[in-house]
Amino acid sequence: MASSSLSMKSCMNATCGVSTSNSGGWKKGWALRSGDFAILCDNCGSAYEQSVFCEVFHSKDSGWRECTSCSKRLHCGCIASRSLLELLDGGGVNCTSCSGSAGAGSMNVDKTPNGFGKPKVDNNGELQSASANGHLAAETKLMQLGNCIDGIGTRSLLQLQSDETNGSYRKMKQEDILPPVGEIASTIFSNFNQASNASCQTAKPEIHRTVTAAKDLYESLAQTNLSMSLGSTLGNQNPFPGGVVDERVLSKASSPLQQGPRSRHLLPKPPKLALSMDANAGMVSQIRVARPPAEGRGRNQLLPRYWPRITDQELQQISGDPNSTIVPLFEKVLSASDAGRIGRLVLPKACAEAYFPPISQPEGLPLRIQDVKGKEWVFQFRFWPNNNSRMYVLEGVTPCIQSMKLQAGDTVTFSRMDPEGKLVMGFRKASSSIAMQDTQPSAMPNGVHSSESYFSGVFENLPIISGYSGLLQSLKGSTDTHFSALHSASGDISWHKSDKQEDKTRDGLLLPSLLVPERKRTRNIGSKSKRLLIDSLDAFELKLTWEEAQDLLRPAPSVKPSIVTIEDHDFEEYEEPPVFGKRSIFIVRSIGGQEQWAQCDSCSKWRRLPVDALLPPKWTCVDNTWDQSRCSCSAPDELAPRELENLLRLNKDFKKRKMSSSHQPTQEHESSGLDALANAAILGDVGEQSATAAVATTTKHPRHRPGCSCIVCIQPPKWEGEAQAYLHVQRLHDS
């Protein structure tokens, strides 16, 4: 960025480029992000002063629109013309002269001294303006980046927005301000076609796309909000369309822009599973939105997490009777405890106190709740004293839960049927967009069998992986804390265990020395499931990551294995847990043949390796013993940047193909039996079950004892489908 302090000045009009040390004749142009002003030569400066800069220099560029009032041409998205136009709330632009008379409903893009400050916000459009502000900030930031970062994620972009936005929005997290992806997806796509050509004319196309997407994302917020009408009709006095603003904020009767952190619930953070479901349902007509809570005692304290996310269609189904009105009260994602056999459904305190009858004794009172089929259930609504507080539960819910075939991760909704005031209980199954469990029937801890693929099942069945989250996250290099689930790709693991056995498994089978702090191991995945719930995308990512992790497992260095032969398979048994080797990438060339590439830890150059090469955690060119011409960092790079790009793309394809092949039936995947073995052994206690041949094989390991735990790691894949892949058995038996 040029600075006015430079003695040698260049005109900042890119199409001019006059450069001189002459101190005279320079004019001040538009405001820069630095707070300075653009330096323009006399000629360009004059054009700017006369507000014809873009007409003169950008007339052939894209990004021109017309003032909705006087049809004057306006160059949108151009820094030189920012001060000449205003974005209208309803879309379109006005020139500043017209917008002066137009009054409210428009937002000046540049009325702050530096041109990038807070936009002027009118009284009617706080939300829209705020969003627009975010959009502008995002756009600004992207322009500031000035280079093309293909593939920048929305999350990153929004983080930029969050970081860059002034005022109270600075602290807002993306999740807090955005509705679930699915909810906005349709809006995004519909908006995408309407993308204004005003965006970012100076940016490269990729940036333009990203900015446009971000813009549309934010514009979609308003539309999404507008669909949330039910709450308003049900007595909610939320003045915001759709009432998605945290009512605690509203109670302060001031703008969210002035509320600072209070505005964090501007939009509710949805349960992750709901998000996942919505993502799939994003294109269908039924948009699931978080409805603001209906009236009730203390509803102001209701966390958005519990706001009912019930569709109009579902409401209609529940209601049945056209004379009745269904008032959605709250919902809760079932935890493992809730869905377990104890038959206690923990109620969010605020919800219980807001919508259920007041109780003063721990014994509580029986509560009649009707389910969607019209069947009436009687639960004991009670509480336990807990840390000077109360913990509310519904007791005796097991029959109801079972009749609905609900599992952990599914959602129960509570509504009230007016005018009778009858409580109605609905439910929503957690769905998975990927066939995570095209499985054999598995016995859930609560004894409920479901033939459907539910995420909850993943959690219920694979409780031991909680300890992996940190590891896998670090592998993934993600700061996203959503825990992602691990599963058996082959899906042939059965878990016919009692809870106690399962508990034992949970404790015993975590990779103790490798991954999990002692304390963590005592808790299972089911715990805090509400906080660990994930959307299917996360799980999918983790699935990839887990497979990658498998590929990266190496025997601990300098540890000599003992060889054990079981049924003609050689097992290398190590006394130390495995370590993770260096990550490499694999590709398949269109002409055939696989390649492995790895990046030097020292010079970052990519080197081609034999496909079966296993790299230690740290690897440099010096270790490239396979290619003497490139065994030094001084050796030239084998790949041009474009080739590298192609390489990465091929690797992506390779991974995709690998993923899909891992979902093939067992017989089509030669090593799947061993995969299953590894998965089974890692995921479960293999000692007491012989659900699969693979597990049975492991049971025969001489060191294995019923009830003990072991970890089996498949030798990193032999790419030709080598069936003789042997196993590394990490002996972690206690005694």
Partner DNA sequence: ATGGTGCATGAGGCA
Partner DNA sequence: GCCTCATGCACCATC
Q: Examine residue 389 and tell whether it contacts DNA (CB under 7 A).
A: yes
Contact range with DNA by CB under 7 A, out of 40-48, 144-152, 196-204, 302-310: 302-310
Contact range with DNA by CB under 7 A, out of 42-50, 162-170, 521-529, 580-588: 521-529
Near DNA by CB under 7 A: residue from 348, 508, 577, 673? 348
How many C-alpha atoms does 17 have within 13 Å on its Cβ side? 2
Show the binding pattern over residues 114-153: x = contacts DNA (CB under 7 A), - = does not. ----------------------------------------
Measured between alpha carbons, how far is 414 from 339 in angstroms, rounded to an integer?
A: 16
Name the residue nearer to DNA (CB basis): 319 or 337: 337
Measured between alpha carbons, how far is 75 from 81 in angstroms, rounded to an integer?
A: 6
Q: Examine residue 170 and tell whether it contacts DNA (CB under 7 A).
A: no
Q: Cβ of 693: how many Cβ atoms within 10 Å?
A: 12
Contact range with DNA by CB under 7 A, out of 64-72, 148-156, 329-337, 439-447: 329-337
Near DNA by CB under 7 A: residue from 335, 456, 488, 699? 335
**Which residues lie below 8 Å from residue 323, measured CB to CB, with a gap of 6+?**
none
DSSP β-ladder status, 325-333 and 365-371: unpaired
User: What is residue 554's three-state secondary structure?
Assistant: strand
Contact range with DNA by CB under 7 A, out of 119-127, 145-153, 312-320, 334-342: 334-342
Near DNA by CB under 7 A: residue from 75, 269, 288, 299? 269
Query: 568-589 burial string, b = 16+ CB within 10 Å, else e?
Result: eeebbbbebbbebbbbbbbbbe
Name the residue nearer to DNA (CB basis): 11 or 525: 525
Answer whether 383's CB lies under 8 Å from 362's CB. Answer: yes
Q: Examine residue 391 and tell whether it contacts DNA (CB under 7 A).
A: yes
Min CB(492)–DNA separation in Å: 25
Q: Examine residue 247 and tell whether it contacts DNA (CB under 7 A).
A: no
How many residues of this chain interact with DNA, rule: CB under 7 A? 42
Structure tokens at 179: 């509705």
User: What is residue 328's three-state secondary structure?
Assistant: strand
Answer whether 197's CB lies under 8 Å from 209's CB. Answer: no
Min CB(408)–DNA separation in Å: 7
Q: Cβ of 134: how many Cβ atoms within 10 Å?
A: 25
Near DNA by CB under 7 A: residue from 222, 342, 544, 556? 342
Name the residue nearer to DNA (CB basis): 4 or 337: 337
Distances (CA, A) of 614 to 11, 249, 558: 55, 56, 15
Near DNA by CB under 7 A: residue from 111, 422, 523, 569? 523
DSSP β-ladder status, 365-371 and 422-428: parallel
**Which residues lie below 8 Å from residue 179, measured CB to CB, with a gap of 6+?**
221, 224, 244, 267, 270, 289, 290
Q: Examine residue 529 and tell whether it contacts DNA (CB under 7 A).
A: yes
Q: Examine residue 724 and tell whether it contacts DNA (CB under 7 A).
A: no
Contact range with DNA by CB under 7 A, out of 134-142, 223-231, 300-308, 714-722: 300-308
Min CB(499)–DNA separation in Å: 8
Residues that bind DNA in the complex, under the rule CB under 7 A:
248, 261, 264, 269, 303, 305-306, 332, 335-338, 341-344, 346, 348-351, 362, 384-389, 391, 395, 408, 503, 519, 522-524, 526-531
